[in-house]
Structure 1
């Protein structure tokens, strides 16, 4: 299907043949870059995680899905659930774009657990075009048996205050009051956080913008995520149109920022804090969402990809995946991200690393202790490689010499300042993605790694273990 014809991006799932879907699924599943233990689409494109929640004894993960190809088209919500992050239930499409208010896509949203129902709040598009649209915020309800019913629009398009870029609701409940935060762009092309208030989850009134206290900061604030923990609050968002002259900051087409501060003063619409930080220093990370589970853990999952770029997997009609689940902790005014403990159950075998180590699988985890100056190369026999290295002041991830590059216009090297003297590094590789955790989780690099026939590790001044990981199981 030719997606340079933008009209094809609005072809519906039931308008294509079963043979077409079987063909692109075969291309996807047989791609050597397809992951084994990350959540990825059976075919087509995945982007933002949605509706993350713990409900009725399971972790529920929804995500944006365009089924017909590796482009942003008519969005659905796809749904998987798990009790242990090893065994998953494939629940299929949760939300189809089938109502007048969401006929051009069911876009990003969140879940709110209330008793025996899971409230899903998302952005529906009556019209969605590159430079125009009619976004609405919609409520759907899932019962404990997994049945979903759309209830309709709860916030209509506020064209007086915002452009058509108004989307991605997140909801807070305080006592009997609901507050909805929506990422937006005002008519002066400035990113804003719109605040709505309601006495029930399906009815809201506009209150104005929340003063985040950072002035003009990009033209659109996508995918806001907000939560409160005791006397602190965390606001995570994806500001579009932000760049920096520093080699350490804002080098992707779009980046992700977090702020730790006091809980939002909803009466005065103000968020007090001591500054913002970039959440991830890699090439391919966007639109993260968090939720609280039954153990009191705050869990984060992000989109392992980014916008405005072609990827080497596009030719096989799939694009992107979700990150591993990470437990996040507030430390002062910073966040730490730690791979979820359940992931150790994926380990099938382990061995000590050698300086020149031959790989028997492209799905593995490294637990390393590194010296101040170290180098790790993820390579093949032809010399193609991705390199992760460090010195006394910085970390560096370099994909200049991989087999297949992408998004070169945004550079091929990423840097981060070292935040501690900690020497432990944990790295997950899954065929074509890599997630690196340093500085006790304060510094994270999330990226794609396109080294064909990846079969070697070269280590200098780094020692540790490799754990080969199994794939996750779906039923």
Structure 2
């Protein structure tokens, strides 16, 4: 049995190693982690180990669509340059035969500890299908990982009464003192999401602690991919709600991401919710995960894709990217996100324009390309609308616009070159400021992450326009004053 199981993982490693070579480096993003081959989704195991940063991800190397989940693996020293490592986990045990689903990792006592969801799907002797999700542990050295012989360590018998046996996944592990803790996504007896907490002293024996928070069918239904951490004096619960109905607070239909800020009483295991909000307002952002870096920064990364809107070209041999890692802070009770500061080490060919008066559509010498960091300070108080077009040529363009009258920022990829009738446009309402706004765009070949007003809001979206579309233009309906600074990102 053990030899058969080892063969499943070895097959994935050999396949990955052989076929990665079939994809040119030029076809992939310059500084965002993406699928080495095949498909990736949720980021997993974002952690420090041996003074390097590791990121795992849900992975199916054999096709560019979702399949039985493995764990892919990469590492970095600066969050910009990523080194590909061998596949870490494969679905090769009875308890994870249908997939090694999402989870997390920590470093402890010189070991790299992975906690993940194992999925069992089988038919019993009576012909009844049995689908179960349980929590499992694997321990490794940064390259090779061995699953515990006592897996699964958290089973369905440890769920609150009435909870779903089939929706119980995505453990996020941390250590506090001598005890390990984890929060796990679950579906309660009313059919909506709840986040459960467990604790252990030895990783093998776990006990149920509490329900941290629950949806009660008010913030979507099932909550996926929880994260729970302290930031300044606040505790933050990150969730990825499914089955959401759009509302005027920024939630859109379908899968969303949200954060809940509150207070946590450790002695009584009680989390008190104070407010909640959307994390990212773009078309392609899901399942974020955070960790605390060596210098104390809380850093988050998300999956830069959408379950509902697949726009990756059919001839690509890879599918799925991660966002640029983001530094998280709290300001006035809200979560602030900004690109990892290490990106500044890769700035080249800086171009700056100050006190520009923009009315008709213009291009600016030195401002173009598909791997750039560009910041715009805009005063559009005398304008009806200000527009930026990126990834542009005579045939294609992707549009970012600001309407100062309605205080709305819009992303629109309708003319980016995708033939399918998928969702192409999304709006976000920003605070009124007499027509003034600051926009920072991180563009990397097939994506743009828009950081608004120093990270108060973020919109993340992808577009797969041919790479020869590199022009950038600016235009205004009425007069807009602007300061613009651009850096090429050369990795």
Tell whether the structures are fold-level matches, with TM greater than 0.5.
Answer: yes
1:416 has 2:414 as partner: no
User: Following the alignment from structure 1 to structure 2, what is the Cα–Cα distance between the partners of residues 256 and 165?
Assistant: 18
Distance 1:295 1:407, change over 3 A: farther
Offset, 1:178: 3.2
Structure 2 counterpart of 1:335: 335
Distance 1:447 1:365, change over 3 A: same
User: Following the alignment from structure 1 to structure 2, what is the Cα–Cα distance between the partners of residues 231 and 29?
Assistant: 46
**Higher RCO (C-alpha under 8 Å, 6+ residues apart):** 1
Moved more, 427-436 or 456-465: 456-465
Structure 2 counterpart of 1:188: 190
Distance 1:281 1:382, change over 3 A: same
User: Following the alignment from structure 1 to structure 2, what is the Cα–Cα distance between the partners of residues 192 and 12?
Assistant: 34
3-state DSSP class of the match of 1:243?
coil
User: Following the alignment from structure 2 to structure 1, what is the Cα–Cα distance between the partners of residues 16 and 58?
Assistant: 21
Structure 1 counterpart of 2:472: 457
Offset, 1:291: 0.4
Distance 1:465 1:167, change over 3 A: same
* Contact 1:65/1:76 (<8 A) preserved: yes
User: Following the alignment from structure 1 to structure 2, what is the Cα–Cα distance between the partners of residues 70 and 300?
Assistant: 25
Structure 2 counterpart of 1:49: 43
**5+ residue gaps, structure 1:** 1-10
Offset, 1:455: 1.9
Moved more, 190-199 or 335-344: 190-199
The RMSD of aligned alpha carbons is 2.9
User: Following the alignment from structure 2 to structure 1, what is the Cα–Cα distance between the partners of residues 272 and 130?
Assistant: 33
* Contact 1:280/1:445 (<8 A) preserved: yes
Moved more, 353-362 or 364-373: 353-362
Distance 1:111 1:128, change over 3 A: farther
Structure 1 counterpart of 2:263: 262
* Contact 2:446/2:462 (<8 A) preserved: yes
* Contact 1:124/1:136 (<8 A) preserved: yes
User: Following the alignment from structure 1 to structure 2, what is the Cα–Cα distance between the partners of residues 79 and 17?
Assistant: 11
User: Following the alignment from structure 2 to structure 1, what is the Cα–Cα distance between the partners of residues 215 and 187?
Assistant: 16
3-state DSSP class of the match of 1:211?
strand
Offset, 1:113: 2.2
Offset, 1:439: 1.8
* Contact 1:252/1:283 (<8 A) preserved: no
* Contact 1:311/1:406 (<8 A) preserved: yes
Offset, 1:266: 7.0
1:137 has 2:135 as partner: yes
Residue deviations 1:219-272 (CA, integer Å, cap 9, x gap): 2110001101353101110010111243x62225311000111125573x5421
Distance 1:407 1:252, change over 3 A: farther
Of 10, 34, 39, the match for 1:40: 34
* Contact 1:24/1:317 (<8 A) preserved: no
Of 342, 353, 373, the match for 1:365: 373
User: Following the alignment from structure 2 to structure 1, what is the Cα–Cα distance between the partners of residues 15 and 261?
Assistant: 50
* Contact 2:13/2:86 (<8 A) preserved: no
User: Following the alignment from structure 1 to structure 2, what is the Cα–Cα distance between the partners of residues 134 and 59?
Assistant: 32
User: Following the alignment from structure 2 to structure 1, what is the Cα–Cα distance between the partners of residues 346 and 271?
Assistant: 40
Structure 2 counterpart of 1:198: 200
* Contact 1:75/1:106 (<8 A) preserved: yes
Structure 2 counterpart of 1:239: 241
3-state DSSP class of the match of 1:401?
coil
Distance 1:252 1:71, change over 3 A: farther
* Contact 1:45/1:67 (<8 A) preserved: yes
* Contact 2:389/2:397 (<8 A) preserved: yes
Structure 2 counterpart of 1:157: 156
Distance 1:16 1:59, change over 3 A: closer
Residue deviations 1:423-467 (CA, integer Å, cap 9, x gap): 322111111111110122010010002333322111133441221
Structure 2 counterpart of 1:70: 64
Moved more, 235-244 or 394-403: 394-403
The alignment covers a number of residue pairs equal to 453
* Contact 1:163/1:186 (<8 A) preserved: no
Structure 1 counterpart of 2:251: 250
Structure 2 counterpart of 1:118: 112
Distance 1:365 1:37, change over 3 A: same
**5+ residue gaps, structure 2:** 1-6, 124-128, 357-361
Structure 2 counterpart of 1:425: 439
User: Following the alignment from structure 1 to structure 2, what is the Cα–Cα distance between the partners of residues 128 and 356?
Assistant: 60
Structure 2 counterpart of 1:8: none
1:398 has 2:412 as partner: yes
Offset, 1:31: 7.9
* Contact 1:139/1:154 (<8 A) preserved: yes
Structure 2 counterpart of 1:277: 277
Residue deviations 1:203-222 (CA, integer Å, cap 9, x gap): 21234533347664322110
Structure 2 counterpart of 1:444: 458
